[in-house]
Amino acid sequence: MPSFNVSNLEMARAVIEAAELEDAPVMVQTDFINFDYGGMDELSALIRTLAQKVPVPVLMHQDQPGK
């Protein structure tokens, strides 16, 4: 399964839309620095909302947790 690190709405949308076009599952990652920037709840809700709109599996992953 391909995995892509995203840091904003546009990147997350592009990754998920590409997965839908390819009819393939995808892992969307972000790291703790990006969680600080956008807030963990906000970024995970954003990715979850985008993922619910497509028929392919989308897995969310927090890369390098540690703070």
Please pick, among 23, 36, 41, 63, the residue that the annotation labels catalytic. 63
Contacts for 49 with CB less than 8 Å, ≥ 6 apart = none
- State the Cα–Cα distance between residues 9 and 21, nearest whole angstrom: 18
Q: Which two tokens stand for residue 6?
A: 């995203």
Q: Is 63 a catalytic residue?
A: yes
Active site residues: 63
